[in-house]
Amino acid sequence: MKWPFAWLALGVGLLLALVLLQTGAMGPEAERSLPLLTLLIVTEFGFFLTAIGAATAIRRLTTGGFNLTLSIALAGCGLLAAGFLWLGLQLWPVNGA
């Protein structure tokens, strides 16, 4: 069985989100177990991966008709892409420190 890319992007995106949560990306700077640049790279990769997954799901839905499972993957990828974007903006140093 061939899985659509949107499902693979959703799975890897959820794994990256779990890694970011476990390393303290949402907490204060003193509690983070990974350097800031690494967290930023992981969030950027997660954003692009899930955004491309959502785009491919939209393209398959427009060409092949409605599919419930692909729509669920589209919603998940869209939410994860928005979450990665928000987290990346929250991590970005404002003062250049």
pLDDT bucket at 79, cuts 50 / 70 / 90? very high
Distance (Å, whole) CA 87 – CA 25: 8
Question: C-alpha angle with apex 30: 35 to 26, nearest 5 degrees?
Answer: 75
User: Tokens standing for 17?
Assistant: 């989100």
Asked whether residue 96 carries a pLDDT value surpassing 70, the answer given is no
**pLDDT, tens digit, for every residue of 4-62?**
899 999 999 999 999 999 998 888 888 888 898 999 999 999 999 999 999 999 999 99
DSSP E strand stretches across the chain: none
Give the CA diameter of the chain: 50
CA distance 39 to 32: 9
Q: Tell me how long the chain is.
A: 97
Would you tell me how many other CB atoms lie within 10 Å of the CB of residue 6? 29
**Per 3-state DSSP, what percentage of the chain is helix, strand, and coil (rounded to 5)?**
75, 0, 25
pTM over 0.85: yes
- Going from N- to C-terminal start, the domains of the chain cover 35-97
